[in-house]
Amino acid sequence: MKPYKIDKTEEDLLEILYNDATATPDEIASQLNITSQKVQKYITKLEEDRIILRYKTQINWQRIKQHEVRALIEVKVVPERGVGFDSIAESIYKFPDVTSVYLLSGGYDLLVQVEGPTLKDVALFVSEKLSVLKNVQSTVTHFLLKKYKEDGDILVEQADSKRLPFSF
């Protein structure tokens, strides 16, 4: 993939949107000291060039959906000649159950995140869809029990510190 060149203003704009996807062009313009028309022009260009892929709201689903199951699956594969890991990664990320796929270094090649309504659904996905794919050698499934922090956001209530104050 060819590197995409951006200037400092575009980088700052992306940081603002990353931290607050609801920021308006007027709000961004005042932070960057440029016009809102210039902001809109930057945003349109970055969307067309697939740098901005979508605008996202981070929701603490574990407080709402008590029964949704997530699993992280380590996958060892045999890379294909000429395409490496890309072909097998593509065949995995096309499944609707799969929310993320990452290429790793270390003992396993891919890390796959899967979501399903029940433990059985996720287990069936692994045994009937993922494990049987050509070039998949082995899998190790880890079921997510609790999320404490995701994408920089703390998801659990933080208790007041129980440590006693200490000074010299």
User: How would residue 25 be classed by pLDDT, with cut points 50, 70 and 90?
Assistant: very high
CB 100 within 8 A of CB 112: yes
Binning the chain into helix, strand and coil, the percentages to the nearest 5 are 35, 20, 45
- CATH code at 129? 3.30.70.920
pLDDT score recorded for residue 163: 65
Question: According to DSSP H, which parts of 84-164 are helical?
Answer: 86-93, 119-125
Which residues, at least 6 apart from 43, have a Cβ–Cβ distance to it below 8 Å? 13, 17, 25, 52
**Are residues 74 and 141 both part of a single domain?**
yes
Q: Which has more confidence, 52 or 59?
A: 52
**Are residues 122 and 81 both part of a single domain?**
yes
Domain holding 99, by residue range, is 68-145
Domain-located, residue 151: no
Number of domains in the chain: 2
**Alpha-carbon span 139 to 134, nearest angstrom:** 13
**Are residues 83 and 14 both part of a single domain?**
no
**Are residues 77 and 140 both part of a single domain?**
yes
**Alpha-carbon span 52 to 58, nearest angstrom:** 16
**Are residues 91 and 30 both part of a single domain?**
no
* pTM more than 0.85: no
pLDDT score recorded for residue 146: 86
Residue 5: CA count within 13 A, CB half-sphere: 0
User: How would residue 56 be classed by pLDDT, with cut points 50, 70 and 90?
Assistant: confident
Domain-located, residue 161: no
pLDDT in tens, 74-91: 999 999 888 899 999 999
pLDDT in tens, 117-154: 999 999 999 999 999 999 999 999 999 988 888 877 78
